Amino acid sequence: MKSETKSAYKDLHGHISTLESHGLLVRIDREIDKDSEMHPLVRWQFVGGLKEDDRKAFLFTNITDGKGRKYDIPVIVGGLAANRAVYSTGMDCSLDEIERKWDAAIANPVPPRDVEDAPCHEIVETGEILCKEGHGIDILPIPVSTPGFDSAPTLSATNVITKDPETGVQNMGTYRCALKAPDRLVVRMATRVGGAGGYQHYLRHQERGDDEMPVAIVLGCPPYVAFMGPQKLPVGVDEFTVAGGLAGAPINIVQAKTVPLMVPAEAEVVIEGYIDTTKVEPEGPFGESHGHIALEEYNMPMRVTAVTRRRDAVIPSYISQVAPSESSVIKRVAYEPLFLRHLRDTMSIKGVKKVSLHEPLTGLLRVTVVTVDPGTPTSEIWRALYGAAFFKGDCSKICIAVNEDIDTDSPDSILWAMSYRSNPIKDMQVLPHRGQGHGPKREHSGEEDSTLLVDATMKSPMPPLALPKREYMERAKKIWEELELPKLMPQSPWHGYSLGAWHQYWDTAAARAASGDYIENGRLSLPQQRPGLKPETKFDPDTGEPA
What's residue 436's pLDDT? 61
Per-residue pLDDT reduced to its tens digit, 260-296: 999 999 999 999 999 999 999 999 898 887 778 889 9
pLDDT of 446 over the 80 cut = no
What's residue 109's pLDDT? 93
What's residue 5's pLDDT? 41
Q: In what order do the strands lie in the sheet with 252-255?
A: 113-114, 252-255, 262-264
At 252, the pLDDT band (50, 70, 90 cuts) reads: very high
* HSE of 254, CA atoms in CB hemisphere, 13 A: 23
What's residue 435's pLDDT? 67
Helix, coil or strand: residue 201: helix
Q: What does DSSP say about strands 158-163 and 212-219: parallel, antiparallel, or unpaired?
A: antiparallel
* HSE of 377, CA atoms in CB hemisphere, 13 A: 5
What is the mean pLDDT of the segment spanning 169-191? 93
For domain 2-322, give the CATH number: 2.30.110.10
Quote the CA–CA distance of 180 and 520 in Å, as a whole number.
Answer: 8
Mean pLDDT score across all residues of the chain: 89
What's residue 489's pLDDT? 83
CA 128 to chain centre: 32
**Strands (DSSP E) found in 220-342:** 252-255, 262-264, 269-276, 279-283, 286-287, 293-294, 297-309, 315-317
Helix, coil or strand: residue 425: helix
Name the pTM for this structure.
0.79
Quote the CA–CA distance of 11 and 264 in Å, as a whole number.
Answer: 10
What is the mean pLDDT of the segment spanning 457-485? 85
What's residue 2's pLDDT? 39
Per-residue pLDDT reduced to its tens digit, 69-106: 999 999 999 999 888 899 999 999 998 888 888 888 98
For domain 332-455, give the CATH number: 3.40.1670.10
pLDDT of 169 over the 70 cut = yes
Name which residue leads in pLDDT, 429 or 500: 429
Per-residue pLDDT reduced to its tens digit, 497-527: 786 789 999 999 999 999 999 999 999 999 9
What's residue 498's pLDDT? 86
Is the peptide bond preceding residue 285 cis, with omega within 30 degrees of 0?
A: yes
In the chain, CATH 3.40.1670.10 sits at: 332-455
pLDDT of 229 over the 70 cut = no
Quote the CA–CA distance of 240 and 213 in Å, as a whole number.
Answer: 20
Q: What does DSSP say about strands 176-181 and 184-188: parallel, antiparallel, or unpaired?
A: antiparallel
